[in-house]
Amino acid sequence: MYKEKIIDAVTGEETSRNYSEAEIAEVKAAQIKANEQIAEAEARATARASALVKLEALGLSADEIASL
């Protein structure tokens, strides 16, 4: 399922090898971490947008909001 393609830059020879169980676990852990970071970034963006809407509803100008 997880394979690495290796290309020799000098000869152009292509080989492939299967990932070890440890490498597969590393890839899966990295994928989970990346998904968590994406979810956190989306949550921060949503919270920021919500806060901006509330500040605008209070009648603050864009300059006033930016200064906060």
Output the pTM of the full model.
0.65
For residue 1, the model assigns a pLDDT of 83
DSSP string across 3-51:
EEEEE-TTT--EEEEEPPHHHHHHHHHHHHHHHHHHHHHHHHHHHHHHH
Q: What percent of the chain has pLDDT over 70?
A: 100
For residue 10, the model assigns a pLDDT of 96
Eight-state DSSP code of residue 62: H
Query: What are the structure tokens assigned to 46, written together?
Result: 């949503």
